[in-house]
Chains A and B, each alone.
Chain A
Amino acid sequence: MAIINVSAGNEARITLGDSAANANIAGSDGLSIPSMQDITINNSTGVFRFKTLDNTAESAVTTPATNQITLNVVVDEAAFFGTGAGSIDNVVDNGLFGVSKNKTRVFFNAGFQGNDSGSKFLSGSGFISGLAPTVNMDSPVWVTPVTIEVDGDYTESAVS
């Protein structure tokens, strides 16, 4: 048994890119989202239940999962609005707001324990949704939720 402790920083992390290659968690071409406050990786299967006359309890089977990654971040100007141009990745250029507005497919690597060799991560692709930047005078720094609506399944891997 080995618990995954993220207190060292940069252990729980997510990298986005316009291709699976650019989203490589160990690479530098994608957008590594900075200043994440929390991240939740959902793999919520549906359930179909049925009763039969020869059973005293319901039977159940699971149906395809709804996959979704939700996080809250402190808004970083470059990450949210993009660097404009000049990088090799569309997500880096347009930022979270740009790829959400443009409904661009993004690929992701969601790391559980950093990006050193052997570190576990989940990958896949989907669409950015749920941006809702907010600020007030009690907490005068912009923060926003971010949702990645995953299209299809996760793939479990380890950094090579």
Chain B
Amino acid sequence: MAIRSDLLTDLTTNLSSTSVSVSTQVPYTSGDIPLYVKNMKKMYVDEEQQDITELYNCLDNNDVLQTETIVNAFVCVDAKTQPTDIDTVVSTCLNAKNSIANAIIRESSVENEYQDDKIIYTFEYRFITV
């Protein structure tokens, strides 16, 4: 789980001067409410999802494999009075992909959805390593 750990390290460092903090917990649900909804302005990074596929199939079975890793992260803020630095928070979170070394593909995206008077930002990080 090195990628999640590296993301947590990067996010913790670079969000330290913003209104959003970072939790090392995974975003489990407590009392039917996800932690990131219960604890607003705190970012939660989920466990890694991995998919290992063959890049090159070799006759001696010494195959070359590639690993696609997806990590989701969540943060929830008040939709009525968003933090003034939310743009910085979002861009910092998207740029956290650059902290992952030795990946040939490093991508990130963000989606948001409303839940009552809250806005939930869901970040998706995608990495391919060989």
Chain A interface residues (CB < 8 Å from chain B): 6, 8-13, 34-39, 74, 137, 139-141, 143
Contacts and interface: CB of A to CB of B under 8 A. Distances in A.
B44 to A, nearest CB: 32
7 contacts: A34-B62, A35-B56, A37-B57, A38-B59, A74-B64, A137-B104, A141-B130
Interface string B100-123: 000010000000000000000000
A37 B59 contact: yes
B55 interface: yes
B60 interface: yes
A140 B59 contact: no
A139 B62 CA distance: 16
Contacts of A36: 58-60
Contacts, number: 43
B84 interface: no
Interface of B: 55-62, 64, 104, 130
Contacts of A34: 58, 60, 62
B56 A11 contact: no
A9 B60 contact: yes
A74 B64 CA distance: 8
User: Which has the most chain A C-beta neighbours within 10 Å: B58, B61, B62, B104?
Assistant: B58
Given A9-B59, A139-B55, A141-B130, A35 B104 contact: no
Nearest to A9: B61
Contact of B59 (A12, A137, A143): A12
Given A139-B55, A140-B104, A141-B56, A35 B62 contact: yes
Contacts of A141: 55-56, 64, 130
Contacts of B57: 37
Contacts of A9: 59-61
B124 to A, nearest CB: 21
A13 B56 CA distance: 17
Contacts of B61: 8-10
Please give me the 7 A-B residue pairs with the lowest Cβ-Cβ distance, nearest first. A9-B61, A35-B58, A36-B59, A140-B104, A12-B59, A10-B60, A35-B62
Contacts of A12: 59
B130 A140 contact: yes
Contacts of B55: 139, 141
Contacts of B64: 35, 74, 141
A70 to B, nearest CB: 14
